[in-house]
Amino acid sequence: MLFLAVFYFYPLFRIFGLSFLPKGVLDVARLEKLVTSSYYFRILWFTFWQAAVSTILTLILALPGAYVFAKFRFKGKHWLQAFTTIPFVLPTVVVAAAFQAFLGPHGVLNELLMNWFGLDHAPIQINYTIWFILLAHVFYNYTVFLRIIGGFWAGLQPSLREAASMLGASPAQVFFKVTFPLLRPAILTSCLLVFIFCFSSFGVILILGGPRFATIEVEIYRQTVHLFNLPMAAALSLVQIVFTFILMWGYTALQKRSTLMLNPEAIIHTQRKPNSFKERMVVYSNSMLMILLLGAPLGSLIFRSIFTSDGLSLVYYRALFENPIRSVFYVPPIDAIMWSVGFASVTLVFALIIGLLASVYLSEKKTGLGSLLDPIFMLPLSTSAVTLGFGFIIALDRPPLNLRTSLIIIPIAHTLVAFPFVVRSILPALRSLPRSIKESASILGASPLKAFFIIDLPIVGRAILVGAVFAFTVSLGEFGASVFVARPQTPTMPLAIYRFLSQPGEINYGQAMAMSSLLMLVTAIGFLSLERFRTKQIGEF
The 3-class secondary structure across 68-89, one letter per residue, is HHHHECCCCHHHHHHHHHHHHH
User: Could you tell me the pLDDT band of residue 434, with boundaries at 50, 70 and 90?
Assistant: confident
Q: What are phi and psi of 329, to 5 degrees?
A: -90, -10
* Of 332 and 513, more confident: 513
Please give the average per-residue pLDDT across 401-417, as a whole number. Answer: 89
Does the pLDDT value for residue 537 go beyond 50? no
pLDDT digits (tens, 9 = 90+) for 36-46: 788 888 999 99
Distance, in Å, from the CA atom of 284 to the CA atom of 266, rounded to the nearest integer, reads 24
Q: How far apart are CA 420 and CA 387, in angstroms?
A: 17
Closest-CA residue to 110 (of 132, 130, 92): 132
User: Is omega for the bond preceding 375 within 30 degrees of 0, making it cis?
Assistant: no
Which of 50, 79, 221, 227 is closest to 140 using CA atoms? 50
Average pLDDT value for residue range 360-382: 76
pLDDT at residue 264 above 80? no
Cα(143)–Cα(150) distance, integer angstroms? 10
- pLDDT value at position 266? 53
Class for domain 1-10+316-541, per CATH? mainly alpha
Distances (CA, A) of 176 to 72, 155, 157, 173: 20, 17, 16, 5
Residue 366 predicted with pLDDT over 80: no
Q: Which residues pair with 308 in a beta bridge?
A: 311
* Candidate ranges 88-92, 95-99, 170-174, 242-246; pick with highest mean pLDDT: 95-99
pLDDT reported for residue 224:
83
| Cα 486 to Cα 179: distance, rounded to the nearest angstrom | 49
Q: How far is the C-alpha of 477 from the C-alpha of 291, rounded, in Å?
A: 23
Backbone angles phi, psi at 384, to 5 degrees: -65, 145
**What secondary structure does DSSP assign to 360-402, as a single string?**
HHHHH--STHHHHHHHHHTGGGGS-HHHHHHHHHHHSSSTTS-
Q: What are the residue ranges spanned by the domains of the chain?
A: 1-10+316-541, 47-214+242-313
User: Which value, in Å, is the radius of gyration of the alpha carbons in the chain?
Assistant: 25
Q: Judge contact between 322 and 332, C-beta under 8 A.
A: yes
Report the range of poorest mean pLDDT among 62-71, 254-263, 480-489: 254-263
pLDDT for residue 169 is more than 80: yes
* pLDDT-wise least confident of 9-18, 82-91, 195-204: 82-91
pLDDT value of position 539: 47
Q: Is the pLDDT of residue 540 over 50?
A: no
Is residue 260 scored above 60 in pLDDT?
no
Please give the C-alpha separations between residue 317 and each of 108, 399, 452, in angstroms, as whole numbers.
19, 42, 46
Reported as half-sphere exposure (CB side, CA atoms, 13 A), residue 300 has a value of 25
Helix (H) or strand (E) holding 288: helix 277-306
**Which range has highest mean pLDDT (58-67, 203-212, 219-228)?**
58-67
C-alpha 374/C-alpha 363 separation (Å) is 10
Check whether 323 has a pLDDT greater than 70.
no
Average pLDDT over residues 142-168: 83
- Which of 2-11, 213-222, 324-333, 352-361 comes out lowest in average pLDDT? 324-333
- CB count within 10 Å of CB 127 equals 18
Give the angle subtended at the CA of 421 by the CAs of 216 and 90, to the nearest 5°.
60
Q: Do domains 1-10+316-541 and 47-214+242-313 have the same CATH topology?
A: yes
* C-beta neighbour count of 24 within 10 angstroms: 7
Under 8 Å between Cβ of 423 and 375: no
Give the mean model confidence (pLDDT) for residues 421-440: 80
Share of the chain above pLDDT 90, in %: 17
82-102 pLDDT, tens digit per residue, is 788 888 878 888 888 899 889
> Above pLDDT 70, what percent of the chain?
90
DSSP H or E run through 298? helix 277-306
Is pLDDT above 70 for 538? no
State yes or no: pLDDT of 2 exceeds 80: yes
Higher pLDDT, 397 or 113: 113
| Summary mean pLDDT of the chain | 83
Over residues 466-480, the mean pLDDT reads 87
Q: Architecture of domain 47-214+242-313 in CATH?
A: Orthogonal Bundle (1.10)
Cα(15)–Cα(9) distance, rounded to whole angstroms?
10
Check whether 381 has a pLDDT greater than 70.
Answer: yes
pLDDT at 191 over 60: yes
